Copies of this chain bind each other. A is one copy, B any other.
Amino acid sequence: MPITTEILTVGDELLRGDLNDTNSTWLAARLFGMGIPVRRIVSLGDDLEPLSGAIEQAIHRGGLVVITGGLGPTDDDRTTCAVARAAKVPLELSNTTLETLRARFASAGYPFTPNNEKQARFPRGAMEIKNSRGTAPGFLLRVGDARVVCLPGVPSEMKAMFDDGVVPLLAQDEAHPAAVRVVRTFGVGESQIDHRLQGLLEAIDADPSEVSLHYRTSFPENQVLLVVRGVADPGATLERFEEEVRRRLSPYVFGVGDVSFSDAVVGALKEAGAKVALAESCTGGLAGDLVTRASGSSSVFELGVVTYSNACKHRMLGVPEEVLEQYGAVSSQCVEAMARGVRDLAKSTYGVAISGVAGPTGGTPEKPVGTVWFGLAHPDGVSHLVRRFPWVHDRQRIKQASAHVALYLVLAHLRDGTDPFEGRWEPGKGGRS
Contacts and interface: CB of A to CB of B under 8 A. Distances in A.
A337 interface: no
Interface stretch (A137-145, A280-288, A376-384): A280-288
B19 A216 contact: yes
9 contacts: A16-B32, A76-B215, A115-B191, A133-B394, A278-B306, A280-B285, A284-B297, A292-B308, A295-B395
Contacts of A297: 284, 308
Contacts of A38: 15-17
Given A20-B25, A190-B74, A195-B115, A108 B41 contact: no
A28 B39 contact: no
A27 interface: yes
A30 B17 contact: yes
Contacts of A22: 20
Copies in the complex: 2
Nearest to A295: B360
Query: What are the 4 tightest A-B residue pairs by CB atom distance, in nearest-first order?
Result: A285-B288, A17-B29, A285-B285, A284-B292
A145 B285 CA distance: 50
A28 to B, nearest CB: 3
Interface in A1-39: 12-22, 24-32, 37-39
Sort chain A's interface into a size bin.
35 or more
A95 to B, nearest CB: 20
Of the candidates A28, A111, A113, the one having the most CB atoms from chain B within 10 angstroms of its own CB is A28
Interface stretch (A201-209, A232-240, A309-317): A309-317
Contacts of A40: 15, 42-44, 50
Interface stretch (A85-93, A246-254, A385-393, A409-417): A385-393
Interface in A166-222: 189-192, 194-195, 214-219
Contact of A285 (B25, B50, B192, B292): B292
